[in-house]
Structure 1
């Protein structure tokens, strides 16, 4: 007998599996039991499926109630001030607009201010508002650059939420030990067990945590399983020794020079060459010193270079790569590796007690200057030697501002990274004053934020010159974006005069004046917004905030 829910002509003997099969094959090839082929078959199939759906749902037994999740760990940090919480909600709600023709308008880009806001909130030690955690985790999910600061600000509740929502599992992967508390130095047995039995990410996190507090203990832990680790894991573990690298690491690194993996050997050699007193550094100094000397036979002292004629087994064991890249001469390739790995203190002794500035000023025979100076650049960066970096950078006002050894902007940026923040900013300001902004973008990226006063003024002056000249404004969009994030907010008042539409010279790009005005209006608005953020987070006002936020 049909139930009240069953249509009179619906087939009742078909199982769910049979109905699925009929639906996959089609009613032209097969029909449900008790249904004749024809135009009515599709409707009969749907009727039968509806009946079976009700039966299946009615026949399900209720599942056993799951246990309640444990509450999230308490966050002992102070609550975020209400104005700052409102500001965070505004930043998280902002989405980049599409705009027409790439025109950004005058409104600040709030998402670009979020990293700075998070850094400031973490510096102040505030806890994230619980109601904003989902939006914060969604933002960090979409932008990997936000994750470290966002997770630090979100605190333990973020990990609790990540265990409940698969979309936020990145928080567990990004947190040492997947959010679990790593054993400390006072728990050696637990640390050893995790090292021997943990997942690879947990072991990396454990080694990094121990290395940061007790370098010797981390090295000893690594030594217990070194011989049985996979080559790619040995490479990752060895890289952790960069933190706290010291002379005590030399015996372990010397053993790694005999590793069966070329990448491991190369990394061990690089670390040893960063220890000026290591035996490897001494061997490389002897080899490099035999290739470079001062020739006094002419009227002017000149550096003479005799590049190696072979790369023997000992040189390969010390990390040198024998085969040169395509298009590179073997002897110049070997010379570059030797000079890069030799302690920079070698050259003053080897070249007559000269200072780095005097050494790089010497002429070099047979077109070897480019190769020799480029290798000194790499050595200065590897050994973090500011005196050699200054000598190789030269004055920012010299032609091309490249200095004797810096042959690219990338190399100049790396050399600048070895200097203190104030000296770095002063050099880049001098570069911009002489050469403008066309090549300064990469150099600005290594300067501390907010930019020092002289650097900020140099950038603003250069932008003003480009504006007055009617230059194509979109060529400076990258620098404008950096200025919005990096200029000291106290510059806002000085920029007010630049927000008006200027008179366009005859040779100016069409519409350039309007675009420049919009750019400066957005810059001023962003600076004032950053100043307001600082105040909301409990900091001292940074310069004149002005009206509006």
Structure 2
């Protein structure tokens, strides 16, 4: 570019105008790229002139082929979300850790609506890219990765692609993803290099084998029981009980049968009575190798051998108790001198295996015991808590059906124990029934309202109830009708419930298309 051409180059004066102010930009020279700009707004005109003059300037310096390599187009989920939803998201992004649940819910709603945040929010999203919930990747992941590449940064998910590189947690997550695709191939790739890794990494890699776990993993996991690192041994001890056909399961079944049995005696008038025979295990290296060791509280009060009994039963396959019906084992456990370790061990085994016959036996027997239908077993709050734990093992739909039946029967104390557990999210019909129940209880006696406030579960229901306009209105009505003389404890919980439901309902309104007036 010669002197005359440099004088005609409009880049320098346009750049100076950008530094001084759009209104002070000199008029573009006739014939220059900037003269083609027809924007009336001074700011928009200046930006357009910067782009045009910049291209012309770089081309004059023979930089165009290298300097103007286009960035690949970004992928966008769909149309931009409505302004109300965008404003809500901005508030969540700058609101701190208290809004993390709502932030995840916002992206769930955006993904369901196939909408994305507007471009003006991308800067705020980039600043929190590593802290965004996993649900955000489906909505803004491609755009944020596009921006990261344009700025010379690595995309967020690139680090975890190879299970042989990265931090222990990254490598464990990558191996779990590998297992999801090819369980046998992932284990085969792990075995030759496993012993060369550090202890914390070996532990993370063993825990990753929970994905796609099968009987084929048993030889490798069995070898991990002799690993020099305690964390690796514990990881293997946590997975092997799930392999009911393994050598480990066989050893634990044999130990369970040696520790626990049922004997029967015939009565003079016919029939038969049963009793539980218990032989407490003793500490041994073989038990410790399989993870059966007393815990801290066992050594400091509850009893070492009782702890060994509980842990032995908890790790045994349920087939070890197949010679008698589940209900008989559970009832005899409750009546036994060793009720606590035997009950907890059997419950842990049923929880691990998810056996529906055992789970139903626990629920039916504990319900009968709490209702006073079993002679010799005292009705206690501990029985009710155990029953709630058993019901919590049911699939979500069965849990709701069970608790809905209790709601219809006006079993207030039992319902209150149940709703502290259960699914993370309730269906719409169950949410409506639960809010009706809550309205009924709050209109009752002072004693009922005090019982309702004690366990502090009402406020947390706002995260689990179906979020709708009707649910938010019902919660607000319950709060409005709450007697003024009630203490702050219940009022505070119902206020938090109503506030959460209203916010979640408003988030759904944000994504509705605007209706022209």
| TM-score of the aligned structures, taking structure 1 as reference length | 0.65
> Is the CA contact (8 Å cut-off) linking 1:266 and 1:320 kept in structure 2?
no
Query: Which of 298, 311, 314 is 1:337 aligned to?
Result: 311
Match of 1:219 in 2: 187
Match of 2:136 in 1: 150
> Is the CA contact (8 Å cut-off) linking 2:172 and 2:205 kept in structure 1?
yes
| 1:427 has 2:402 as partner | yes
Query: Which of 336, 342, 346 is 1:372 aligned to?
Result: 342
In the superposition, relative to structure 1, how do residues 136 and 270 fare at CA in structure 2: closer, same or farther (>3 Å)?
same
In the superposition, relative to structure 1, how do residues 226 and 377 fare at CA in structure 2: closer, same or farther (>3 Å)?
same
Match of 1:239 in 2: 207
Give the match's secondary structure for 1:305: strand
Bigger Cα displacement from structure 2, 210-219 vs 495-504: 495-504
In the TM superposition, what is the alpha-carbon distance from 1:250 to its structure 2 partner? 0.9
Bigger Cα displacement from structure 2, 466-475 vs 414-423: 466-475
> Is the CA contact (8 Å cut-off) linking 1:425 and 1:452 kept in structure 2?
no
Distance in 1, Cα, partners of 2:68 & 2:206 = 39
Give the match's secondary structure for 2:261: strand
Match of 2:10 in 1: none
Distance in 2, Cα, partners of 1:396 & 1:130 = 57
Cα deviations across residues 93-138 of structure 1 (Å, max 9, x unaligned)? 259999xxxxxxxxxx987543222123334554443332333455
In the superposition, relative to structure 1, how do residues 463 and 88 fare at CA in structure 2: closer, same or farther (>3 Å)?
farther
Match of 2:87 in 1: 89
Write out aligned runs for 1:220-299 (5 A): 220-297=188-265, 299=267
> Is the CA contact (8 Å cut-off) linking 2:404 and 2:430 kept in structure 1?
yes
In the TM superposition, what is the alpha-carbon distance from 1:248 to its structure 2 partner? 0.9
> Is the CA contact (8 Å cut-off) linking 1:285 and 1:342 kept in structure 2?
yes
Distance in 1, Cα, partners of 2:94 & 2:456 = 16
Match of 1:79 in 2: 78
Match of 1:178 in 2: 159
Write out aligned runs for 1:25-40 (5 A): none
Match of 2:53 in 1: none
- Structure 2 unmatched ranges of 5 or more: 1-65
Q: Which has the higher contact order (CA 8 A, sep 6+)?
A: 1
Match of 2:21 in 1: none
Distance in 1, Cα, partners of 2:68 & 2:336 = 74
- Structure 1 unmatched ranges of 5 or more: 1-66, 99-108, 183-190, 538-546
| TM-score of the aligned structures, taking structure 2 as reference length | 0.68
In the superposition, relative to structure 1, how do residues 358 and 120 fare at CA in structure 2: closer, same or farther (>3 Å)?
farther
In the TM superposition, what is the alpha-carbon distance from 1:425 to its structure 2 partner? 1.7
Distance in 2, Cα, partners of 1:75 & 1:395 = 59
Query: Which of 354, 357, 360 is 2:327 aligned to?
Result: 357
Give the match's secondary structure for 1:224: coil
Give the match's secondary structure for 2:262: strand
In the TM superposition, what is the alpha-carbon distance from 1:529 to its structure 2 partner? 2.5
Distance in 2, Cα, partners of 1:130 & 1:524 = 29
> Is the CA contact (8 Å cut-off) linking 1:422 and 1:452 kept in structure 2?
no
Match of 1:314 in 2: 286
Distance in 2, Cα, partners of 1:313 & 1:515 = 54
In the TM superposition, what is the alpha-carbon distance from 1:86 to its structure 2 partner? 3.4
Match of 1:188 in 2: none
Give the match's secondary structure for 1:327: helix
> Is the CA contact (8 Å cut-off) linking 1:429 and 1:455 kept in structure 2?
no
> Is the CA contact (8 Å cut-off) linking 1:450 and 1:488 kept in structure 2?
no
Query: Which of 115, 118, 122 is 2:111 aligned to?
Result: 122
How many aligned residue pairs are there? 432
Match of 2:442 in 1: 466
| Root-mean-square deviation (Å) | 4.5
In the TM superposition, what is the alpha-carbon distance from 1:92 to its structure 2 partner? 2.8
> Is the CA contact (8 Å cut-off) linking 2:462 and 2:498 kept in structure 1?
no
